[in-house]
Amino acid sequence: MSVLEKMSSAEAIALEDKHGAHNYHPLPVVLSRGEGVYVWDVEGKKYYDFLSAYSAVNQGHCHPKIVGAMVQQAQTLTLTSRAFYNDKLGVYEQFVTDYFGFDKVLPMNTGAEAVETALKICRKWAYEKKGIAENQAQIIVCEGNFHGRTTTIISFSNDANARKNFGPYTEGFIRIPYDDIEALENALNSSPNIAGFLVEPIQGEAGVYVPNEDYLAKAKALCEKYNALFIADEVQTGIARTGSILAVCGNCTCENKCEKQATYVAPDILILGKALSGGAYPVSAVLANDHIMNVIKPGQHGSTFGGNPIAGAVAIAALEVINDEKLIQNARRLGKLFRAQIGEYIKTSTIATLVRGKGLLNAVVINDTEESDTAWNICLKLAENGLLAKPTHGNIIRFAPPLVMNEEQLLDCVSIIVNTLKEFER
Ligand SMILES: *Cc1c(COP(=O)(O)O)cnc(C)c1O
């Protein structure tokens, strides 16, 4: 067919199936346009987006301010590489470090790259500042973690599907149960070679597990006690998703420089991605203070695209939108409403057993086994009923709409979700 003809969903799916690697299992929906909380498929059907590209599109689809910044910069200068300076990078670095209250940022592109960067900084810090003997550093991670897909990152995953036949694996990681302070202290105490603790403040991919209220603060205190770095992976939880600018801000709703707030658990290394660009462009970042970041010297780490002028312009706009549109407060308010409304339905439901989450990062647990396809079938039905969501682990459905949603839209979505779930009551 000619590229000028409009493609049907079936044709688009067939093309991907034939010519693309089968590394994803998408819902059979082919999207061609997005605006705010809505996306449209090639047949013109309109949906509420309740995945937000895994929380990358927090600011809503095609936000005009973000797209405007991107287009303007794309017409001016796109890429210099870091072989030269450019007039946008320093401005962005000042903005983002000021926004999150760190001395320095190391710009990358994807979340996984930022995690890798954080691990490298942590190891280097351990050898050069903590005095761990060469090649002996250990980093503690959690069961059920999701930090991306590189060889090193999947080495410390416990998702069989993510690991199987990708070995040999990178050494130097100790895995402990999530939300278990005693296990963390035991691991920190087990060896003098612990360099850091890498943690998701809420485990998103695992099924939106929110730890105990004091878990992060206690974990940070233990890391201090044992002189290990507390590394927060906020690629999914950050940028207003959970009703604060970062999940490590606890219940604080201030808009930036979180270190001034009492509930703030300051990471030694903060990892951001996804919504740092509002989903417009791959932009990730690793933030840390000088005594940590300065272990990296010229030639020791890099990325051709990291810190490019478009990324800088886009990220500034994306972070400004968070403040301009009060998305922290909106995520918090609508999240409470969502859990209250779904919770009310669950009281008498035979198909849904639990709703959990924080801000607008929530999950509903479906009353079936992890191996069942009930959650998948519910998501197919939700799509038919005009709402896109995806199962995380078997019987758990994540609900994470763009944060620009309003109350009327949210209530409309709640009724779509409840009515759809009711079709599966037994
Ligand atoms: C998505 C995600 C990543 C990986 O980001 P990519 O851009 O897909 O590489 C890392 N950590 C967390 C917590 C994530 O949700």
Strands 269-272 and 46-49 come out as unpaired
Active site residue 95: no
Between the CA of 345 and the centroid of ligand 1 the distance, in Å, is: 32
**Does 389 contact ligand 1 (Cβ within 6 A)?**
no
Q: ∠ CA 215-216-221 to the nearest 5 degrees?
A: 100
The chain-wide mean pLDDT, for the chain, equals 96
- Amino acid identity at 125: W
pLDDT tens-digit map of 93-109: 999 999 999 999 999 99
**pLDDT, tens digit, 9 for 90 and up, residues 107-140:** 999 999 999 999 999 999 999 999 999 999 999 9
105 strand-pairing partners = 287
Tell me the best of 57, 58, 141, 147 to mutate to test the pocket of ligand 1, counting ligand atoms within 8 Å of each CB and taking the most: 147
- What is the 261 CA–ligand 1 centroid distance (Å)? 27
Q: At what angle do helices 374-384 and 407-422 cross, to 10 degrees?
A: 130
Token representation of residue 293:
């970041």
Would the pTM count as exceeding 0.95?
yes
Question: What are the backbone dihedrals phi and psi of residue 366, each rounded to the nearest 5 degrees, phi first?
Answer: -95, 140
Q: How far apart are CA 398 and CA 342, in angstroms?
A: 13
Asked if 306 and 299 count as a contact pair (C-beta separation under 8 A), the reply is: no
Whether 233 sits among the annotated catalytic residues: the reply is: yes
Report CA torsion sign: 237, 242, 248, 254.
positive
pLDDT digits (tens, 9 = 90+) for 400-421: 999 999 999 999 999 999 999 9
- 111 close to ligand 1 (CB < 6 Angstrom): yes
75 to 63, 78, 187, 304, 355: CA distances (angstroms): 18, 8, 51, 19, 45
